[in-house]
Amino acid sequence: MRINLTLQQLEAFEKVAASGSFRAAAQALFVSQPALSRTIRVAEAALGTRLFDRDTRHVALTPSGQELLPIARRILQEFDSAFSELSQFVDGRRGHVTVAALPSVGVALLPRAVATLRRRLPDVGFTLEEAPAAPLLQRVEQGLVDFGITVEPPADARLRYTHLLDDPFVLVCRRDDPLAQRKAVPWTALAGRPFIGSSAQGSIGPIVDAALLRQDITVTPTLEYPSVAAGGAMVAEGLGITVLPRLALGLVASRGLAVVPLQRPVVGRRIGIVSRIGRSLSPAAQGMVRYLAEELAVPAPQRRRAASR
């Protein structure tokens, strides 16, 4: 036989049993005593047994009431615990966030952000994935990650882009290269130089190629690097020069290399958060998005000064 008791009835029963008084229980529940009595009578009718022996002065549990009391307390405790967890989830204090990022972003931006959020929200778990731009967007579209941090994608009805920062490109050459001694160089300084380019799947190559085409600059392609780290190693071995976004420098072993700002024009890649339209982010993921937007809206020198305090 299935017994249908509501949480309200269980709570009313537990309060009367704990206080030994209908009057005190009614006050604790902020209901009238007649209303509380009706609730207990309905519960007893559903169970087919009396829960309390009562007269004008005393209230005592019947054997059935004694049997129900630990069950009622366990159910009420589990209910409170479950809804406490739900409340924490809705407030963004519990949950799990999965983020896919470009390798350069994963090194330059996310570790500090995740460390800060772990201190603030110790019950939120984080999974960080790295991927080139094209596979990253596929993971966002397929719903395999909560959101991605990557270059601005082409206009797409399925993706939402929220801008975070501009990542300027710089020249990377050996320290004994004549260009290494300059404070900045124009893109025309690349003309005719042996050039190490990016693989087609990454976010760097298309932007660099477009910049060279707009300036009508012809470079001498020598090699194509499979990763930014490999590109830096090739430059260090004297195989040519390359152009990288500043955030990617964290992936390069800098020994023997020089980094020179590129100007005339200043070219950068737009980095932001990409999520799938029509898919709601969890409260914890929304909190991480807000934190990243607020943190990265602060200029980098100010972020470094704040971190050193």
Check which CATH number belongs to the domain holding 54 and give it.
Answer: 1.10.10.10
Query: Which tens digit of pLDDT belongs to each residue from 108-167?
Result: 888 888 888 888 888 888 999 999 888 999 999 999 999 999 999 888 768 999 999 999
Q: Has residue 109 been placed in a domain?
A: yes
Q: How far is CA 46 from CA 55, 75, 177, 202, 276, in A?
A: 22, 17, 89, 67, 49
Query: Which tens digit of pLDDT belongs to each residue from 12-50?
Result: 999 999 999 999 999 999 999 999 999 999 999 999 999
**233 against 298, higher pLDDT:** 233
Q: How far is CA 77 from CA 51, 66, 162, 167, 263, in A?
A: 20, 17, 42, 52, 65
Same domain, 182 and 261: yes
> Considering 90, 118, 141, which residue would you say is the last residue of a domain?
90
CATH of the domain at 140: 3.40.190.10
Query: Which tens digit of pLDDT belongs to each residue from 208-263?
Result: 988 999 989 988 888 989 899 999 999 999 999 999 999 999 999 888 999 999 99
Same domain, 194 and 264: yes
Global pTM? 0.70
Residue 306: its pLDDT value, please?
36
Structure tokens at 123: 């019950």
> Considering 70, 90, 110, which residue would you say is the last residue of a domain?
90
Residue 297: its pLDDT value, please?
64
Residue 229: its pLDDT value, please?
93
- The range of the structural domain enclosing residue 151 comes to 95-163+270-308
Same domain, 261 and 274: no
3 state DSSP class of 162: strand
Number of domains the chain is built from: 3
For residue 192, pLDDT beyond 50:
yes
The terminus-to-terminus CA distance of the chain in angstroms comes to 66
Interacting residues of 185 by C-beta distance below 8 A, sequence separation 6+: 171, 179, 260, 261, 262, 263
Q: Which residues of 37-54 are buried (b: 16+ CB within 10 A; e: fewer)?
A: bebbeebbeebeeebbeb
Same domain, 278 and 150: yes
